[in-house]
Amino acid sequence: MAFELPPLPYAKNALAPHMSEQTLDFHYGKHHNGYVVKLNTLVPGTKYESMSLMDVIAESSKVAADKGIFNNSAQIWNHSFYWECLSPDGGGDPSGALYDALTSSFGSVDTFREQFSQKAVTLFGSGWAWLVKKADGSLAIEQTSNADTPVTGSDTPLLTCDVWEHAYYVDYRNARPKYVEAYWNLVNWDFVAKNLG
Ligand code: FE2
């Protein structure tokens, strides 16, 4: 059973002007799809062949020799999660339990946005910024490098921002801060609230 590219939750032009159709063409159609194609060349004949994507990520993360399998499987999951974090109807402020959780953890939603943006902008090289729920129920903002993902640990991811250059170079060239600023217009708070549970 081959791994598959999940459908985008919206049309490729639905996130414009904050994120262009051309960015989605490349980021979803080439990069995300590329991880799927690559993983499907790596797993046949291995113990990973019949595992779920989550199990592939968890198992390959423990085996140095399977770094390629880890990188591609984790990037498939990270990107599928990232697309769900965005919405043409996104942006604005969260409400309800999520608003309360962000306010009590960070002081205000604006302070949360500032701190998350800071983590996204300052991450050196390629990677991801995350809002996670820790095992003790508290919220935290984290950075992961390259394909690394919170799902290999005990944290529950609530929100992510892809800060690989391929996420913003088409629309914002090297200006990662401009991309992160635009990102807030797309954040799907309903999805974040659902992840908070
Ligand atoms: Fe990406």
Q: Distance from the CA of 19 to the center of ligand 1, in angstroms?
A: 13
Signed CA dihedral, 71, 77, 82, 88: sign only: positive
Q: Distance from the CA of 100 to the center of ligand 1, in angstroms?
A: 30
Beta strands 139-145 and 156-162 are unpaired
- Indicate whether 193 pLDDT > 90: yes
pLDDT, tens only, 112-144: 999 999 999 999 999 999 999 999 999 999 999
C-beta of residue 65 within 8 angstroms of C-beta of residue 47: no
- Give the pLDDT confidence score for residue 184 in this predicted structure: 98
pLDDT, tens only, 1-59: 699 999 999 999 999 999 999 999 999 999 999 999 999 999 999 999 999 999 999 99
Q: Distance from the CA of 102 to the center of ligand 1, in angstroms?
A: 26
Integer Cα distance of 29 and 59 in angstroms: 27
Its pTM surpasses 0.75: yes
Tokens of 50: 């019949």
Distances (CA, A) of 159 to 67, 81, 84: 25, 8, 9
Distances (CA, A) of 44 to 39, 58, 62: 9, 18, 19
- Indicate whether 151 pLDDT > 80: yes
Mean pLDDT over the full length of the chain = 98
- Give the pLDDT confidence score for residue 16 in this predicted structure: 98
Q: Percent of the chain scored above 90 by pLDDT? A: 99
Q: Distance from the CA of 166 to the center of ligand 1, in angstroms?
A: 6
Q: Distance from the CA of 45 to the center of ligand 1, in angstroms?
A: 28
The rounded Cα 36 to chain-centroid distance in angstroms is: 16
Q: Distance from the CA of 78 to the center of ligand 1, in angstroms?
A: 8
pLDDT, tens only, 154-186: 999 999 999 999 999 999 999 999 999 999 999
Residue 129's φ and ψ, nearest 5 degrees, are -105, 140
Return contacts of 51-59, CB within 8 angstroms, 24+ apart.
Answer: 53/3, 53/77, 54/151, 57/149, 57/151, 57/152, 58/151, 58/152
Q: Distance from the CA of 159 to the center of ligand 1, in angstroms?
A: 14
